[in-house]
């Protein structure tokens, strides 16, 4: 078989929802309330009900959600926020932007999520928040993290759920597991719009009020600027797109789980090293990510066969020039190790069985014998980083 596969198949999704999306957009064009129109509130009500959270506040992007969440809890310059270095930069970036200090805690090598058992040792008198990331669509051990925060008092837990909207953890939904949950509607996320968008979720009335005010320049009433805020609203048109996409979102989630399970079955039999999914939660596969050695060669070979892959993420944040100064003496070796091996495969609700088979056979034909030996989890004993690594920690 030939032909190029999509890494994220937004075209088939649009084809399936063409009418609903067109109608929803037309309705906005007809009423003309482009800013904070009725679709904004409608979406917030639908998403609050979906997650079970008392409040949903839509915002301009996932990044903006993280920023507003940190502003709402009152993060001050010098405050510390515990987070993972194995994430998209926005997580730590918003901490630094507010003058805070990201304190990096290493991940579990088999889920790639923050290792809750390492958090407590990093708490100091300045710790103001913990920001776990639900990487690849699976939540971290949120109850354990909430318990640690509760033991120390006045520490907020902000879930970066940009990749996990729709995932569940012990029967509850991602975004409704901690003080504030933040998600993104970037087009390729599990629930996407056609531009930038995001949302925040909380059960706390005062925090919800703060988030709403910060979203519109700190206004508690028109031209009454009670606090410092940002211009962080989500466009009515983008809310309309998400509303249309909600019509088959449950179906898409089910498909993502099935496709993830099929990937697992096809690849586990061949002994490939795969992401672990904990029994008390599920994964919505924001990315379907495997571990391969000699990654660059495998990627090039797949690309030549029209199979796109991606790396989430090639370098943990504590090795990035902008963040190296924040890393402590222990340098998160598991993050460094898995960053050399992770490779994401095509994943969308519309990925057909034949195309998926094409991906797995092409992959299995490429990976070396070492990758085929089943590893319980990758260990760090053979961790070797290139000497030229920028910002390497000592």
Closer of 63 and 146 to ligand PLP (Cβ): 63
Among 9, 160, 235, 252, binds ligand PLP (CB under 6 A): 160
Residue 174 Cβ, how far from ligand PLP at the closest point, in Å?
12
Distance CA 342, CA 212 (A): 37
Chain residue at closest Cβ approach to ligand PLP: 62
Q: How many residues bind to ligand PLP according to rule CB under 6 A?
A: 15
Does residue 185 sit in helix, strand or coil? coil
Joined together, the tokens standing for residue 160 give: 């970066």
Residue 379 Cβ, how far from ligand PLP at the closest point, in Å?
25
Among 43, 56, 62, 167, binds ligand PLP (CB under 6 A): 62
Helix intervals (H) in the chain: 10-31, 38-51, 62-72, 90-97, 142-152, 205-215, 236-245, 249-268, 295-304, 333-339, 353-366, 369-372
Among 13, 51, 58, 63, binds ligand PLP (CB under 6 A): 63
Does residue 376 sit in helix, strand or coil? coil
162 part of the interface to ligand PLP, by CB under 6 A:
yes
61 part of the interface to ligand PLP, by CB under 6 A:
yes
C-alpha neighbours within 13 Å on the C-beta side of residue 67: 23
Among 83, 87, 111, 238, binds ligand PLP (CB under 6 A): 87
90 part of the interface to ligand PLP, by CB under 6 A:
yes
Residue 93 Cβ, how far from ligand PLP at the closest point, in Å?
9
Closer of 13 and 360 to ligand PLP (Cβ): 13
Phi, psi of 95 (to 5 degrees): -65, -50
Distance CA 9, CA 350 (A): 7
Site for ligand PLP in 280-319 (CB under 6 A): none
Closest CA relative to residue 138, chosen from 29, 316, 279, 31: 279
Site for ligand PLP in 166-185 (CB under 6 A): 184
Q: Locate tokens 């190029």: which residue? A: 4
Q: Considering only 103-111, 156-164, 218-226, 339-347, which stretch makes contact with ligand PLP by CB under 6 A?
A: 156-164
Site for ligand PLP in 127-146 (CB under 6 A): 133
Please state, as a whole number, how many other Cβ atoms lie within 10 Å of the Cβ of residue 306: 13
Closer of 194 and 267 to ligand PLP (Cβ): 194
Does residue 290 sit in helix, strand or coil? strand
Q: Locate tokens 């590893």: which residue? A: 375
Binding site for ligand PLP (CB under 6 A): 61-63, 87-88, 90-91, 133, 160, 162-163, 184, 186, 196, 198
């Amino acid at each position: 078989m030939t032909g190029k596969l999509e890494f994220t198949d937004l075209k088939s999704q649009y084809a399936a929802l063409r009418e609903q999306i067109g109608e929803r957009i037309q309705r906005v064009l007809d009423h003309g309330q482009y800013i904070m129109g009725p679709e904004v509130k409608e979406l917030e009500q639908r998403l609050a009900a979906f997650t079970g959270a008392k409040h949903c506040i839509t915002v301009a992007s996932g990044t903006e959600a993280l920023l507003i969440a940190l502003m709402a809890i009152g993060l001050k310059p010098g405050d510390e926020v515990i987070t993972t270095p194995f994430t998209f930069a926005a997580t730590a970036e918003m901490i630094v932007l507010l003058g805070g200090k990201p304190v990096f805690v290493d991940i579990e090598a088999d889920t790639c999520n923050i290792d809750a058992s390492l958090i407590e040792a990093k708490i100091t008198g300045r710790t103001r928040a913990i920001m776990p990331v639900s990487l690849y669509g699976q939540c971290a051990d949120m109850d354990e993290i909430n318990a640690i925060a509760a033991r120390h008092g006045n520490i907020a837990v902000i879930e970066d759920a940009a990749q996990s909207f729709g995932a569940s953890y012990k029967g509850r939904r991602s975004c409704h597991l901690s003080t504030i949950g933040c998600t993104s509607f970037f087009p390729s996320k599990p629930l996407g719009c056609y531009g930038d968008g995001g949302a925040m979720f909380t059960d706390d009335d005062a925090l919800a009020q703060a988030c709403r005010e910060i979203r519109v320049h700190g206004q508690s009433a028109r031209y009454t600027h009670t606090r410092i805020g940002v211009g962080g609203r989500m466009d009515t048109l983008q809310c309309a797109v998400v509303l249309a996409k909600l019509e088959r979102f449950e179906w898409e989630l089910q498909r993502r789980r099935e496709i993830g399970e099929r990937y697992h079955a096809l690849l586990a039999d061949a002994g490939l090293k795969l992401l672990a999914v904990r029994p008390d939660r599920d994964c919505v596969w924001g990315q379907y990510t495997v571990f391969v050695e000699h990654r660059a060669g495998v990627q090039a070979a797949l690309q030549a066969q029209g199979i796109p892959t991606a790396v989430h993420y090639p370098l943990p944040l504590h090795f990035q020039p902008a963040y190296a100064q924040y890393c402590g003496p222990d340098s998160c070796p598991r993050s460094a190790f898995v960053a050399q091996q992770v490779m994401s495969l095509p994943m969308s609700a519309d990925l057909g069985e034949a195309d998926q088979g094409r991906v797995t056979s092409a992959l299995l034909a490429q990976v070396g014998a070492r990758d085929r030996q089943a590893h319980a989890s990758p260990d760090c004993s053979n961790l070797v980083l290139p000497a030229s690594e920028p910002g390497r920690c000592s």
